[in-house]
Amino acid sequence: MARDLTQLELLGELQPVAEENLNRHLSMAKEWHPHDYVPWDEGRNFAALGGEDWSPEQSRLDEVAKAAMITNLLTEDNLPSYHREIAENFSQDGAWGTWVGRWTAEENRHGIVMRDYLVVTRGVDPVALEQARIEHMTNGFSSAAAGGHDQMGFLHSVSYVTFQELATRVSHRNTGKVCNDPIADRMLQRIAADENLHMIFYRNLCGAALDISPDQALRAIADIVQNFQMPGAGMPNFRRNGVLMAKHGIYDLRQHLEDVVMPVLRKWNIFDRTDFTAEGEQTREELAAFLEKLEKDVLKFEEQRDRMLSREAAKRQAAQAS
Ligand SMILES: [Fe+2]
Ligand SMILES: [Fe+2]
């Protein structure tokens, strides 16, 4: 059985990969400005400055778009928790430290632009939004809990964020589509492009870790895949909003399996690698069994969703007829 590397050994061995991928990121990242994505001419004062406070009819967003926007924004707002996780598990030195700072700055821009958009267009209740932000940030977020693990460490962290960045990319992208507003769509496409670049950085680091210490890295990946939760857990109304988002295809189980989990596992070549020992083989079998079950859960979920949607449509028709 191969010996597990310590955190320090992993960070040391992966330092050149971090540097190379930091440089790759900096050369690919596009400069963009939140103010360019917000229709400022729609803005007006609230009651405190002599204008009118928010009321529901001012919003152009439907319930699904509101739920998705709020969930995605609160996730971005919780950046201090994610920063803490990454900063604790990555080194502060050299390329590692530069990445942590740069990534944090880029993520912060996502919360800025979404809040500006929502407040200026009166898309959601700004008072409820602020209360939810305070509650969510006070609860904080621990990816240890979301990954079902008490001990995160570098490998669990880097595999968690690989999946999470890709999941937020999918979620932002699909939220843009249901907003029914080309301005929101453009903004969320812009954010989704950032998330994709973040995902590539983490995916390349985790892929390099697999080459250096295959069994150990696969163990972390399998833990994360089997316990993965979207970062919204602990958010006010997370269940209700999560269900609405899944029901309307913004982020559902099939997208999770087919657009997030599988493409990353394929990129890492998990099922064709020949460098695992017996221990790694066993982890791989465990992962394969989990994915098979997930595939079945996807079908079950979709059947339930179809039934629910047709019941609702029938109800609407009955209401219109009466
Ligand atoms: Fe983000
Ligand atoms: Fe990101």
For residue 256, the CA-to-ligand 2 centroid distance in Å is 17
Residue 73 has pLDDT above 80, yes or no: yes
Q: What is the pLDDT of residues 184-238, one digit of tens each?
A: 999 999 999 999 999 999 999 999 999 999 999 999 999 999 998 766 667 888 8
Q: Which residue is it, tokens 């700072």?
A: 101
77/114 Cα distance (integer angstroms): 10
Q: In degrees, to the nearest 5, what angle opens at C-alpha 140 toward C-alphas 135 and 143?
A: 145
Burial of 318: CB neighbours in 10 Å, binned 0-12, 13-18, 19+ = exposed
More reliable by pLDDT, 148 or 91 = 91
Q: Which of 171, 142, 164, 145 is nearest to 67 (CA)?
A: 171
Type and span of the H or E element at 239: helix 238-247
For residue 276, the CA-to-ligand 1 centroid distance in Å is 34
> In the structure, what pLDDT confidence band is assigned to residue 240 with cuts at 50, 70 and 90?
confident
Report the C-alpha dihedral over residues 61, 67, 71, 77, rounded to 10 degrees: 40
For residue 164, the CA-to-ligand 2 centroid distance in Å is 8
What is the mean pLDDT of the segment spanning 80-92?
91
Domains, the chain: 16-321 (1.10.620.20)
Residue 91 has pLDDT above 90, yes or no: no
For residue 188, the CA-to-ligand 1 centroid distance in Å is 10
Residue 310 has pLDDT above 70, yes or no: yes
168/231 Cα distance (integer angstroms): 9
Q: In degrees, to the nearest 5, what angle opens at C-alpha 131 toward C-alphas 128 and 136?
A: 120
Q: What is the pLDDT of residues 19-58, one digit of tens each?
A: 999 999 999 999 999 999 999 999 999 999 999 999 999 9
- Neighbour tally for 116: CB within 10 Å: 18
234/58 Cα distance (integer angstroms): 28
Q: What average pLDDT does the chain have?
A: 93
Q: Which residue is it, tokens 């994505």?
A: 37
Q: Which of 123, 113, 47, 110 is nearest to 79 (CA)?
A: 110
Q: What is the pLDDT of residues 276-287, one digit of tens each?
A: 999 999 999 999
Residue 262 has pLDDT above 60, yes or no: yes
204/18 Cα distance (integer angstroms): 9
- The closest ligand to the CA of 73 turns out to be 1
- Neighbour tally for 158: CB within 10 Å: 28
For residue 165, the CA-to-ligand 1 centroid distance in Å is 7
For residue 282, the CA-to-ligand 1 centroid distance in Å is 35
72/54 Cα distance (integer angstroms): 21
Sign of CA dihedral 96, 26, 170, 107: positive
> In the structure, what pLDDT confidence band is assigned to residue 3 with cuts at 50, 70 and 90?
confident
Q: In this predicted structure, what is the pLDDT of residue 239?
A: 83
Q: Which residue is it, tokens 């709020």?
A: 70
Find how far residue 320's CA is from the centre of its chain. Answer: 39
Strands in 131-269 per DSSP E: none
Residue 320 has pLDDT above 90, yes or no: no
Q: With beta carbons less than 8 A apart as the criterion, state whether 243 and 231 touch.
A: no
Q: In this predicted structure, what is the pLDDT of residue 312?
A: 87
Q: In this predicted structure, what is the pLDDT of residue 159?
A: 95
Buried b (16+ CB within 10 A) or exposed e, 136-154: beeeebbbbebbebeebbb
69/79 Cα distance (integer angstroms): 16
> In the structure, what pLDDT confidence band is assigned to residue 256 with cuts at 50, 70 and 90?
very high
Please give the model's pTM, rounded to 2 decimal places: 0.93
Q: What is the pLDDT of residues 116-155, one digit of tens each?
A: 999 999 999 999 999 999 999 998 877 666 555 566 789 9
